[in-house]
Each structure stands twice: as C-alpha cells, then as structure tokens.
Structure 1
Amino acid sequence: MNFSVHFDAQTVARLSAAVERVGLTRNRIIVRAVQEWLVKNEAEEWPEDLRDHWRNPAPELSAGPVEFEPWRPAADVSPTR
C-alpha cells in the first residue's frame, strides 16, 4: 500500500544522511522504523489485571490501583533532538 508522509526539513536532512550512511532507501528505513515501533508497542491483548479493572463497576473498592503507565500508548513521539 502506498501513502504519503510529510516530514519537517530537519527530519528529511537526517533521513538523507542515514540513507548515505547505511545504503538503504528512504522508504526501506521508514518501513523498518514503523515495523520496529509496532513490535515494541503493539499489544496482542490487554493484560488480565487491566481487563479485570475495567470490568469492576466500582474500581475504588478494588484491592488496589492498576498500574496503567506501562500500557500508555507510545504516541508521544516528539523529537528528542
């Protein structure tokens, strides 16, 4: 499937430098980056404790809080540089 992605000038420059350095095409680098991100961030199923938490109509009565931070989406992909 083809689609369009728009990057800022700094990201394009960094990507172009990576192309020269590793000898892959821009598309191949982008595909690999997305595939790696999905492997790291795609959960097959919600963890049992989280499913139990959402089934409980009165979570304040449960034994304790559910740790949700590890399941927060990694959509906070702001540039680190």
Structure 2
Amino acid sequence: MNFSVHFDEATLDRLNKAVERSGMTRNRIIVTAVQEWLARNEEKDWPEALKTHFRNPAPELAEEVLDFQAWRATAIPSESGVRW
C-alpha cells in the first residue's frame, strides 16, 4: 500500500543523512522504523498457560504446576520499565 508522509525540513535532513550513512533507501528506513515502533508498542498478551492458570479459582490444586520462571525470561519490559 502506498501513501504520503510529510516531514518537516529538519527531520527530512536527518533522514537523508541516515540514507547516506546506512545505504538504505528512505522508504526502507521508514518501514523499519514503523515496524520497530509497532513491535514495542503493540498490546502484549499473556501466554496461554498463564491465562489458564489464573482462570482457575484454585490454581494450587491443579494437577500440573505452572513454572512462572519459564515464561518470565521471555517477557519484554515495557517502555516504562515495568515487567510483567
């Protein structure tokens, strides 16, 4: 999909310098920046095993014990630094 984006002169100058340094096209830099922003800012969801665990009113009685440390290592800290 194509659409127009309008930048102020200072941003356009910085973008053009980044093109020269990186060898990437302006479009590729913009696409990469948007993809990275979305990856950081899209709503994250809890792993299914964890959601199931907390839906159970008495998780300590479940047959299988949930290993919280297994999913914790994959949790990504938010921009505010808060971990879940």
TM-score (norm 1): 0.54
What's 1:2 paired with?
2
Rounded Cα–Cα distance in structure 2 between residues aligned with 1:44 and 1:37: 13
TM-score (norm 2): 0.53
Deviation sequence 1:20-71 (CA, Å, 0-9, x none): 000000000000000000000001459x8xxxxxxxxxxxxxxxxxxxxx6x
Coordinate RMSD, CA, aligned: 2.3
Rounded Cα–Cα distance in structure 1 between residues aligned with 2:5 and 2:42: 21
Unaligned stretches of 5+ residues in structure 2:
52-77, 79-84
Larger Rg: 2
What's 2:20 paired with?
20
Unaligned stretches of 5+ residues in structure 1:
49-69, 71-81
Tell me the number of residue pairs that the alignment of Structure 1 and Structure 2 aligns: 50
Percent identity of paired positions between Structure 1 and Structure 2: 67
SS in structure 1 at match of 2:7: coil
Equivalent position amino acid for 2:37 in 1: W
Rounded Cα–Cα distance in structure 1 between residues aligned with 2:25 and 2:11: 15
Rounded Cα–Cα distance in structure 2 between residues aligned with 1:12 and 1:24: 15
